[in-house]
Amino acid sequence: MKRIIAVANQKGGVGKTTTNINLATCLAQAGKSVLVCDMDPQGNTTSGLGVDKHTLEKSIYTLLLGESYLEEVALKIEGIDGLFLLPANIDLAGAEIEMLDLASREFRLRDVLSHAKYLYDYILIDCPPSLNILTLNALCAADSVLVPIQCEYYALEGLTQLMHTINLVHGKLNPRLALEGVVFTMYDARTNLSAQVVDEVKSHLADHTYQTIIPRNVRLSEAPSHGLPITLYAPQSKGAEAYEQLAREVMAKNFLADEPQKELL
């Protein structure tokens, strides 16, 4: 079954990009074909996968504006069979304004991916840290939303707003959209706080939390500066182990689901 998953949370620094890069890589290493869409003008997914964002001529920006074809933009990631990237850079920041003039501007990404979704087992979309038109495009293109939550103070701040947005998009723009699940990130087993955050979120969203918890792991924060996913940078690390387990959980869940999980919201 084909899945398009948007990794979203309007808070910055919660592990969206780290989850995107490493979940996508682990899915590809498990034999799936995977396309990663970088919808953040910061282009951290792009550089984190070893692609130089400063020299891009074609990117997700030119794709959204209808100036390129997907086949021209998609880059094969070296060293990871089956992994492809639609890269982004700061040009994408202009898209929000330039797209204002375009018809059905919230559906540009959906339309761009309309054929690609038959070519890949999974498409993962990295969202920017806001609920803007780029995030809206991601939510309109996706089957489900995966929400990374950092096990820190204020983790729940903004979660209600995000759920409200997801519900709104589900009701008005994309009836396929479901909540894929919450993933806890940067869990620190030494602090009570991490455990408290997990308990609190579970008390609200028990059925929608992944069992896999991503620990705070320094290797995960080092890997992007080498342009490598964790499984290539530090394959024996706790971080690599956690994202491999998350990929298995995502695959198992999607294997069990015969239908997009509409009722979940």
Among 4, 5, 16, 144, interactor with ligand ADP by CB under 6 A: 16
Reference 27, options 255, 225, 261, 245; nearest CA is 245
How far apart (Å, rounded) are the C-alpha atoms in residues 117 and 238?
A: 32
**Residue 220 binding result from ligand ADP, Mg ion, none, given CB thresholds of 5 to 8 Å by partner type:** ligand ADP
Among 104, 114, 161, 221, interactor with ligand ADP by CB under 6 A: 221
Q: Does 26 bind ligand ADP (CB under 6 A)?
A: no
Site size for ligand ADP (CB under 6 A):
18
Q: Nearest distance from residue 262's CB to ligand ADP, in Å?
A: 27
| Tokens at 238, concatenated | 């706790």
Strand order in the sheet with 178-187: 75-76, 83-86, 34-38, 122-126, 3-7, 144-150, 178-187, 209-215
- Residue in the block written with tokens 């997914």: 45
Among 64, 220, 234, 251, interactor with ligand ADP by CB under 6 A: 220
CB nearer ligand ADP, residue 14 or residue 139: 14
Q: What is the largest CA-CA distance in the chain?
A: 51
| Tokens at 39, concatenated | 């919808």
Q: Does 89 bind ligand ADP (CB under 6 A)?
A: no
Label residue 33 exposed, middle or buried (CB < 10 Å: 0-12, 13-18, 19+): middle
Which stretches of the chain are DSSP H helices?
16-29, 44-48, 60-64, 70-73, 95-98, 108-112, 133-141, 159-172, 192-205, 218-222, 230-233, 238-256
Cβ atoms of residues 35 and 85 within 8 Å: yes
Q: Does 216 bind ligand ADP (CB under 6 A)?
A: yes
Q: Does 17 bind ligand ADP (CB under 6 A)?
A: yes
Q: Does 226 bind ligand ADP (CB under 6 A)?
A: no
Q: Does 151 bind ligand ADP (CB under 6 A)?
A: no
CB nearer Mg ion, residue 17 or residue 89: 17
Instruction: Please give the residue ranges that form the binding site for Mg ion (CB under 5 A).
Output: 16-17, 44
Q: Does 260 bind ligand ADP (CB under 6 A)?
A: no
Residue 182: beta bridge partners? 147, 209
- HSE value, Cβ hemisphere, 13 Å, CA-based, for 84: 21
Q: Nearest distance from residue 127's CB to Mg ion, in Å?
A: 8
- Residue in the block written with tokens 């500066």: 225
Q: Nearest distance from residue 255's CB to ligand ADP, in Å?
A: 26
Q: Nearest distance from residue 152's CB to ligand ADP, in Å?
A: 11
CB nearer ligand ADP, residue 12 or residue 31: 12
Among 89, 174, 217, 231, interactor with ligand ADP by CB under 6 A: 217
- Contacting residues toward ligand ADP, per CB under 6 A: 12-18, 44, 129, 185-186, 214, 216-217, 220-221, 224, 239
